């Protein structure tokens, strides 16, 4: 799921128009190349450990309305689930963060109403509206990080 000006469509069940749906499908197919190019760009953007932590902190605040009350810490969003998730590029960082946010299963702690500490596990995001909102926000964050890194790269070549 991406959240960009080149691929943003929605269709209602009431008053559904097959023609509009077919038109959207065609536009999505034509945008696929642009999306693939964007992904390839993100795969070559290397991130420092500090940048990855910053990304995780930003994602954490997107996920939790009150980050200080969250059951997990931001760095837990960067925990790799598979060997292939070990890359430090922007695309891998996005994917690992997205999967951890969407699938849940991260261990954490909460404080109950009585003040006692309880162990907890994050739940997967199942509600469609929350899924879409979070995925779009994470994609937007990733695009902005790519822009920052590209500006940073441009500045380093100018000053060199």
Q: Domain count of the chain? A: 1
pLDDT in tens, the chain (160 residues): 455 555 555 555 666 677 777 777 777 777 677 778 888 999 999 999 999 999 999 999 999 999 988 999 999 999 999 998 999 999 999 999 999 999 999 999 998 888 899 999 999 999 999 999 999 999 999 999 999 998 776 645 444 4
3-state secondary structure string, 122-138? CCCCCCHHHHHHHHHHH
Which residues constitute the domain of residue 58? 46-159
Q: How far apart are CA 95 and CA 108, in angstroms?
A: 21
With respect to residue 33, please indicate whether it lies within any of the assigned structural domains. no
Specify if 38 maps to a domain.
no
DSSP result, 20-76? HHHHHHHHHHHHHHHHHHHHHHHHT-B--HHHHHHHHHHHHHHH-SSGGG-SS-GGG
Whether the model clears a pTM of 0.85, i.e. scores above it, the answer is no
């Amino acid at each position: 799921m991406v959240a960009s000006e080149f691929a943003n469509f929605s269709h209602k069940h009431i008053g559904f128009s097959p023609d509009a749906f077919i038109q959207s499908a065609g536009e999505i197919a034509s945008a696929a190349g642009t999306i693939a190019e964007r992904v390839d760009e993100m795969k070559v953007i290397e991130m420092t450990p500090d940048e990855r932590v910053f990304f995780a902190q930003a994602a954490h605040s997107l996920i939790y309305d009150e980050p200080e009350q969250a059951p997990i810490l931001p760095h837990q969003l960067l925990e790799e689930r598979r060997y292939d998730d070990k890359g430090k590029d922007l695309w891998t960082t996005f994917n690992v963060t997205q999967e951890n946010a969407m699938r849940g299963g991260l261990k954490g702690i909460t404080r109950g109403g009585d003040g006692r500490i309880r162990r907890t596990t994050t739940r997967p995001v199942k509600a469609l509206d929350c899924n879409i909102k979070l995925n779009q926000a994470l994609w937007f964050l990733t695009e902005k990080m790519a822009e920052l890194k590209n500006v940073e790269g441009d500045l380093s070549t100018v000053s060199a």
